[in-house]
C-alpha cells in the first residue's frame, strides 16, 4: 500500500517520538500544515491500520429523544442526576467545558447519553497517536521509498534509520542461537599417568 508524501512525513515524525507515540499537536508534517489537515492524515493512516489514536468529544448537541425526555416526569427518568444536568445544559451545539458537572466525568456522561440516542456527537478531537503493530511491520518489511521528498528533513530520515536499526537489531538478536559450552575432551597417553587436553596437543602428536 502506497503512502502520500504528507502521510509519510506524519509517520516519520511519529518515529521520532518516545515509544512511537505522541500528542497529535506534536505531529504536524510541517509548519504550514493546518490542524484539520493533520487530523485527516491521522484518520487516513488509522483507516489503513498504521496508527491508533485516542480521541475525546469536542462538540455535541441534544438529540430529539433527549428533548422528549426533558418533558417527562423527572421522578421516573432513565438517567442519573448528572446526566440530567447535561441534557438540561444543552443549548444548540455544546462543548464539554460548558457542562455543570465535574471535568473528570464529562466525557463518560456524554458518551453514555450518545449511546442511548439522547445526544448527537458532532466532532471528536484526536489526542494521543500511537504507531500500531501493523504500522511497524509495514515500515520495516514492506515500505519501499520512491520518488522525491523535498520537504523531508534529515532529522525525519534519521528517525526512520533509527527505527530500522532498532527493529532489525531486535529481530537479529532473537534469532541468534543460544551458545552452550562444549564439553572438554581429554586424550590419555598410554603408559603415562597424566592426560592432556586435545586442544593443547602439538600437531602431529
Q: Which pLDDT value is given to residue 35?
A: 94
Q: Which pLDDT value is given to residue 82?
A: 96
Only one residue has cell 530500522, namely 164
Ranges of beta strands (E only) in the chain are: 21-23, 51-62, 93-94, 119-131, 186-188, 195-197
71 and 111 belong to one structural domain: yes
120 and 62 belong to one structural domain: yes
Along the 205 residues of the chain, how does pLDDT read in single tens digits?
Answer: 678 889 999 999 999 999 999 999 999 998 889 999 999 999 999 999 999 999 999 999 999 999 999 998 867 788 999 999 999 999 889 999 999 999 999 999 999 999 999 999 999 999 999 999 999 999 999 887 776 666 567 888 888 899 999 888 755 545 445 444 444 444 444 444 444 444 333 333 3
41 and 62 belong to one structural domain: no
Look up the domain containing 22 and give its range: 5-50+132-156
pLDDT digits (tens, 9 = 90+) for 142-188: 887 776 666 567 888 888 899 999 888 755 545 445 444 444 444 44
67 and 84 belong to one structural domain: yes
pTM equals 0.72
Do the domain assignments include residue 29? yes
Region of 159 (left: φ > 0; alpha: ψ -120 to 50; beta: rest) is alpha
Q: Which pLDDT value is given to residue 148?
A: 67
Contact 55, 126 (CB under 8 A): yes
152 and 114 belong to one structural domain: no
Alpha helices in 93-195 (DSSP H): 106-115, 133-137, 154-175
Do the domain assignments include residue 32? yes
The total domain count for the chain is 2
Do the domain assignments include residue 30? yes
62 and 113 belong to one structural domain: yes
Paired residues of 131 in beta bridges: 51
70 and 13 belong to one structural domain: no
113 and 97 belong to one structural domain: yes
17 and 69 belong to one structural domain: no
Do the domain assignments include residue 37? yes
105 and 63 belong to one structural domain: yes
Amino acid at each position: 500500500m502506497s503512502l502520500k508524501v504528507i502521510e509519510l512525513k506524519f509517520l516519520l515524525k511519529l518515529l521520532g517520538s518516545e515509544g512511537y507515540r505522541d500528542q497529535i499537536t506534536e505531529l504536524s508534517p510541517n509548519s504550514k500544515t493546518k490542524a484539520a489537515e493533520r487530523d485527516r492524515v491521522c484518520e487516513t493512516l488509522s483507516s489503513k491500520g498504521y496508527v491508533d489514536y485516542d480521541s475525546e468529544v469536542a462538540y455535541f448537541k441534544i438529540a430529539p429523544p433527549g428533548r422528549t425526555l426533558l418533558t417527562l416526569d423527572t421522578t421516573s427518568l432513565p438517567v442519573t442526576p448528572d446526566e440530567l444536568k447535561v441534557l438540561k445544559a444543552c443549548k444548540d451545539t455544546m462543548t464539554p467545558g460548558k457542562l455543570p458537572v465535574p471535568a473528570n466525568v464529562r466525557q463518560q456522561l456524554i458518551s453514555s447519553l450518545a449511546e442511548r440516542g439522547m445526544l448527537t456527537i458532532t466532532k471528536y478531537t484526536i489526542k494521543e497517536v500511537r504507531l500500531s503493530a501493523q504500522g511497524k511491520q509495514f515500515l520495516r518489511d514492506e515500505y519501499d521509498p520512491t520518488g522525491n521528498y523535498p520537504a523531508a528533513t534529515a532529522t525525519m530520515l534519521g528517525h526512520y534509520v533509527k527505527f530500522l536499526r532498532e527493529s532489525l537489531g531486535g529481530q537479529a538478536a532473537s534469532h541468534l542461537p543460544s551458545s552452550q559450552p562444549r564439553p572438554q575432551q581429554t586424550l590419555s597417553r598410554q603408559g603415562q599417568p597424566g592426560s592432556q587436553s586435545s586442544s593443547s596437543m602439538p600437531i602431529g602428536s
